[in-house]
């Protein structure tokens, strides 16, 4: 199967209507790369992967995503730096690539973070 067919199969079989991976347990770095091709113009850099992997680890540990300030503090990126890496935003860019379910990004802001 060629690469384009693989991307099409993943997009049709494993993404929800908003483009988030279902189920998120199917995520691995190769799936992340395929998802990134639908979101990013260029290949993922080491900086992109730093954010994606941080989000993935945080989600797997706490079942939520970190507040944006914590993400910036823990990764060393400024908010503007994150948006340069992911112009569509953390949820629509990095979150999708990290295989985090879209419902996680829709939680009320009043959810307490660890």
Distance between CA 106 and CA 6 in Å, rounded?
A: 29
Residue 95 forms part of a structural domain: yes
> pTM here?
0.81
pLDDT tens sequence across 80-99: 999 999 999 988 899 999 99
Residue 114 forms part of a structural domain: no
Residue 42 forms part of a structural domain: yes
Q: What is the CATH number of the domain that holds 83?
A: 1.10.10.370
Positions in the chain whose pLDDT score sits under 50? 5, 9-13, 110-114
Contact status, residue 26 vs residue 50, Cβ threshold 8 Å: no
With a CB cutoff of 8 Å and minimum separation 6, the contacts of 39 are 19, 88, 92, 93, 96, 97
Domain hosting residue 40, numbered range: 3-106
Residue 10 forms part of a structural domain: yes
What sign results for the dihedral spanned by CA atoms 55, 86, 19, 43? negative
Domain count, the chain: 1
Residue 113 forms part of a structural domain: no
Residue 111 forms part of a structural domain: no
DSSP SS3 for 21: strand
């Amino acid at each position: 199967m060629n690469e384009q067919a693989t991307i099409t199969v993943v997009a049709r079989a494993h993404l929800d209507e908003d483009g988030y991976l279902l189920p998120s347990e199917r995520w691995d770095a190769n799936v992340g790369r395929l998802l990134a091709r639908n979101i990013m113009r260029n290949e993922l850099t080491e900086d992109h992967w730093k954010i994606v992997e941080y989000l993935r680890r945080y989600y797997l540990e706490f079942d939520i995503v970190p507040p944006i300030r914590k993400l910036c503090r823990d990764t060393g990126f400024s908010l503007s730096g994150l948006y340069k890496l992911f112009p569509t935003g953390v949820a629509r860019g990095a979150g999708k690539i990290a295989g985090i379910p879209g419902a996680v990004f829709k939680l009320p802001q009043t959810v307490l973070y660890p």
